[in-house]
Chains A and B, each alone.
Chain A
């Protein structure tokens, strides 16, 4: 019995089991001797022997279990590594922050039953300016801002020409967004010659679309993008909408208390919107319709949401920035 305690491995334990309970084992022998005893004695001894055997078996099994566990543990221990050595080697790449933001924006509008439309980057004067109530003498239209080609085509300065193209092709109702790259001839700390916009257009027959509708979707959209922010509308002017407004959100850096990013105003300008000007509808031959439109700069959204400080860094393919979007 005591021997069980001293055994340290499964093999010796099995040997002991055979030595005691095996065919020629000590206990087996004792049982064999029973037949030589008289009945009373046999009963007594048999009872003792049975108790002894049960106790031995129980101890043996217990020990076996302990030893088995120990052996498994030793096997597993061989696999031990220093997990803290773990360091970077993520094989994943990352989506560019501008496209990541664009994807989020598109996801919202697709879920709000908008369709997606795209158009050419090289546009003509009619689609980019004239049809949008920007006649060539308009003060809001400065030659300096537009990239022109020798055949008097141009690189679109906004994604609005896609709205014109869509309206010329389709009849109302229209409920669309047009995401994509746009170009302005400006290159400094806060301007890059290429950036991205998403424009939205909703047109319905009759006077169904109101400013209150526009307000609703923008308030909803901006809280989807920026979380719990206040949204404010400031009346403004765009040639292609009337009435027009610029939309601000309460500053997400200082919660509206005023900081460097919001120029201490507590507000951040994020997009422009308005009801579609009747001259735009005239240009595409729509009659008796109403609609709203708005446009936003994707880079501006990406910079605010991800706290990217330098606009130009978004176009420099710098892994030090891009790696952070894994």
Chain B
């Protein structure tokens, strides 16, 4: 909502209030100021009157004008098509600096002297109204030649844009804003002037009859005006351009001006029939969607508050009888209808859905007053009016003590009453001294209950004036499963950054085509997004990995040599069920080149990567992967992650083909479901005070075997008590032997320790022998 100070001044005397104070007031009462700019014509631009206007002797498109600027008569060459004698225009005198940087100097244009410039609005830094120079009229004030343009309020103004909230339709007009300020500054609104009918004028009844069928939900007033030769006043055109309308018809300029000034919805109709003085019959009834509709010759020509058929919409005013219609309809009613029946609406709906001015006479008077006693305009006497049973304005009973309870601060009764009265509420104090009966003005359709009334009081009272106070609490334990879940994730995140991963956040969206290309799960088409924002983000992700690969790829292109990310986020399966996952990606070298690695950073192996993941999410076991859920996974370097016997995710080298697609260096990935990762409380075991012994045994095994088989076998020996004192064992080396095909050597370290004594060699060896023997029996493998 755009307002200017000069426009506002027509409804409220605010000339003495500075623009900063105005903005402060707006913000305080809940009308947020979006921008505030100074509108000022440059110094040195004065009013001039064109006394003579002749063709330039040497140029077809130029005119040579004699212009009276009061102190002297200037000769100015002008290139505008619309220049003509007797016009009042804006003259930039010698020495004037225009906003576009042009300084006016005496010049010769095709051998003719020109000392000054006749300006267009754009040259003066204003919005354009029409092509050519600005032709002024006395709507801006008394035209005095030589008077500085910025001595007129219109050209020395403040423009304020207010971001209105959806409930404040009553502030969608200059009058409505003035009403608010009147309450805040405690200044009376200037009285609205009623239009007085001229008894000599023709009556509306000669040309228009309006009838209705059944009940209607809106209020309507019709007025007929005959335009013969009417020029839209400059001030109207200028202001309409200030509020952002460009190149609109005469009729729209007039209508928009009245609506923006008063908030009353106005439409204009033009019927051919009426022009030859035949009578027009308008019928109003509900259409099939239950909206009050205007019919002309059985044709639907408009729906109140929603739209209007183009055919009968007026654009030019002159030589026409125009039917003006002022209307009001309940905003909720019209919004519901539009939604329920998917009715198309025009720009009017923005106002009608938020609540337009219900007092139609304000608009009628404003329209007629701006046209009365103008030669070439004939206002027909009388109106046609239709209105539904006027709802009696809302009356709310509220208790003062309740108001203060809600605010949490005592505002005295007299202050409450005076605030409400200044907002034009009718207030009656009940005999019990605590209850108020509040009559809400009709234009505040948004006020329905005590909370709404509280808002009115506190915004005028000033929120800053309410003393804040803490709430008194009853002790309550807030450590619940969601808090523990949050803590668990936070722990994981901080562990991950501790070993060099960067946390990232990527969109929940992904490309369905790419997901399919890499054989990832995708959401069933029947459940997918209707209105994605771009084609590349046209579905919800089913994996975090694709987004992470793209993230890495961007950084590699920026010449990063080592990129490590993790993300915690939701992914969706084909049934669109939400699952929380954590994913890791590790691309390139272990670290950047630095003095520490002598310029030769190392690459990591699958085992290094797995170790890093383990240090973040806790102990797990890896099992060879058999089902490849997507093609990011490397079929020969990938594993399922098992915790407590449950499969919780996978870890893999990135498939080389995907690596090539994205031009990545060697990359590892892991994606893990968060549900089965627990931050369990640790239970300690007794530890031995005796010396531990390490023994390394190397076995020759078949290359088709995996370590897990050996591990399981040894564990079963330990579990069954067949060997003891083995504290732990783990593989420490593996290599292929050149002359033995299909055989590899694996070295396992055994750590032996007793809780009761220092072990001697014999005890150690006897335990190890049992293991060697068992493995030989089971897998026919032996020591190397």
Residues of A participating in the B interface, judged by any CB pair closer than 8 Å? 85-89, 91-96, 98-99, 103, 106, 110, 113-118, 120-122, 135-140, 147-151, 155, 173, 175, 181, 183, 185-187, 192-194, 202, 204, 207-213, 215-217, 219, 232-237, 239, 242-246, 263, 265, 275, 277-278, 290, 314-320, 322-323
Contact = CB atoms under 8 A, between A and B. Distances in A.
Given A211-B466, A275-B406, A139 B563 contact: no
Given A92-B500, A202-B471, A320-B558, 9 more contacts: A93-B496, A99-B505, A115-B482, A175-B476, A212-B466, A232-B27, A232-B464, A319-B555, A319-B563
Given A113-B478, A211-B458, A235-B459, A89 B591 contact: yes
Contacts of B496: 93
A237 B163 CA distance: 11
B468 A215 contact: yes
Nearest to A148: B530
A290 B490 CA distance: 33
A194 to B, nearest CB: 5
A320 B559 CA distance: 11
Contact of A275 (B451, B485, B507): B451
Contacts of A103: 490
A87 B480 CA distance: 45
A235 B563 contact: no
Contacts of B449: 242, 278
A122 B507 contact: no
Contacts of A175: 473, 476, 478
Number of contact residues on B: which range applies? 35 or more
Contacts of A88: 592, 594
B592 A95 contact: no
A194 B507 contact: yes
Given A86-B595, A173-B476, A208-B471, A150 B408 contact: no
Given A95-B493, A219-B468, A319 B529 contact: no
Contacts of A110: 478, 483
Nearest to A234: B27
Contacts of B482: 115-118
A237 B507 contact: no
Contact of A138 (B166, B459, B531): B166
B409 A212 contact: yes
A212 B195 CA distance: 48
A237 B165 contact: yes
Contacts of B563: 319
Contacts of B525: 150
Given A88-B594, A213-B408, A318-B554, A94 B508 contact: no
A84 to B, nearest CB: 10
A25 B440 CA distance: 121
B540 to A, nearest CB: 8
Contacts of B208: none
Interface stretch (B29-37, B270-278, B723-731): B29-37
Given A93-B497, A315-B505, A318-B555, A234 B530 contact: no
Given A243-B451, A278-B451, A212 B469 contact: yes
A204 B406 CA distance: 13
B30 A235 contact: yes
Contacts of B499: 91, 93
Contacts of A207: 402, 405-406
A69 B347 CA distance: 92
A99 B455 CA distance: 35
A317 B473 contact: no
Contacts of B165: 236-237
Most central of A92, A139, A219 by chain B CB within 10 Å: A139
5 contacts: A86-B595, A147-B532, A185-B531, A207-B405, A236-B165
Interface string B1-45: 000000000000000000000000001111011010000000000
Interface stretch (B209-217, B333-341, B695-703): B333-341
Contacts of B405: 207, 210
B113 interface: no
Nearest to B355: A139
B607 interface: no
A265 B576 CA distance: 45
Contacts of A233: 463-464
Which 6 A-B pairs rank lowest in CB-CB distance, beginning with the nearest?
A210-B408, A212-B408, A235-B30, A237-B165, A243-B455, A317-B551
A245 B592 CA distance: 50
B742 interface: no
Contacts of B128: none
B518 interface: no
A181 B508 CA distance: 9
B470 interface: yes
A236 B31 CA distance: 7
B354 interface: yes
Nearest to B338: A137
Contacts of B407: 210-212
B486 to A, nearest CB: 5
B469 A213 contact: yes
Nearest to B339: A137
B504 to A, nearest CB: 4
Contacts of A215: 408, 463, 466, 468
Given A93-B496, A237-B168, A315-B507, A122 B529 contact: no
Contact of A290 (B406, B494, B529, B592): B406
B454 interface: yes
A98 B464 contact: no
B611 interface: no
Nearest to B33: A265
Contacts of A322: 502-504
Contact of A115 (B336, B467, B478): B478
B409 A235 contact: no
B554 A114 contact: no
A217 B472 CA distance: 12
B469 A187 contact: no
Contact of B32 (A86, A149, A234, A320): A234
Contacts of A98: 505
B506 A315 contact: yes
B566 to A, nearest CB: 8
Contacts of B433: none
A150 B497 contact: no
Contacts of B409: 210-212
Contacts of A85: 595
Contact of A319 (B336, B340, B502): B502
Interface string B521-532: 000011111111
A194 B529 CA distance: 14
B528 A87 contact: no
Contacts of A140: 166
Contacts of A318: 554-555, 558
Contacts of B500: 91-93
A94 B528 contact: no
B18 to A, nearest CB: 15
A112 to B, nearest CB: 9
A194 B591 contact: no
A253 B423 CA distance: 38
Interface in B561-603: 563-566, 570, 576, 578, 591-592, 594-597
B528 A237 contact: no
A149 to B, nearest CB: 6
B222 interface: no
A92 B476 CA distance: 38
B263 to A, nearest CB: 16
Given A96-B505, A194-B507, A211-B407, A149 B529 contact: yes
A23 to B, nearest CB: 45
B57 interface: no
B353 interface: yes
A322 B353 CA distance: 45
B497 A92 contact: yes
A318 to B, nearest CB: 7
Contact of A216 (B470, B494, B527, B558): B470
B469 A317 contact: no
